[in-house]
Structure 1
Amino acid sequence: MTKKNILLVCGGGASSGFLAQSMKKSAKTQGLLVTVEAVGDSEIEDYIDEKDVVLFGPHLRYMESELKETMSEFDSIPYDFIPDAYYGALDGEGTLNFALSLIAK
């Protein structure tokens, strides 16, 4: 299995940092090769290289048109907003599975 590189994006990076740790634990439990990085929305372009998927915190929906514009430069990379239920519960397994399903599309 090839390593999957996931980028989480939120406002400041704090809550997504906790979610990233939870996703890493879930990946380890499942025996998956995954890297997860969490960054603030102003840093997307600095971290997007080599990523397989980008997930945005649900609270960034107000920036959806800006984010679509930014992501249009990287049209081969799938992206979506993390479902509220996963984000609110810091559900690493659910978020990881969601990310992997986007990569598989």
Structure 2
Amino acid sequence: MSANISFTFRVTGIEDEGRARAVVEELRELMRDEAIGGQVSIGVRTEGGRHVVTGGTDFPVSVSRAHLWCPEFEKSVAWYAKEAAPAATCAVEWSHPDEQR
């Protein structure tokens, strides 16, 4: 069974702008690998003088076996981000639009 889900994520603890841009590229690769690259926006912003990578779905995506996929996806976001910025900390927030009616 599949579910419609939306998510946002924040990656903090990034050392500098170069590493932030590298995190963006790593996460874009993950989104391509997950076949949702065209459905997720990712960018860099500065908050309090620190670089933060943020992103999320542009609209809900349909995921089969979401109860298994979501935890693995969270682990992947953290792993890909840490490939480019070892001190990075990641947070993913989920939304289930079908349940909010």
Interval containing the TM-score (normalised by the shorter chain)? 0.3 to 0.5
* TM-score of the superposed pair, with normalisation by structure 2: 0.38
Structure 1 or 2: more strand by fraction: 2
Q: Computing the radius of gyration over CA atoms, which structure comes out larger, 1 or 2?
A: 2
Taking structure 1 as the reference length, the TM-score comes to 0.37
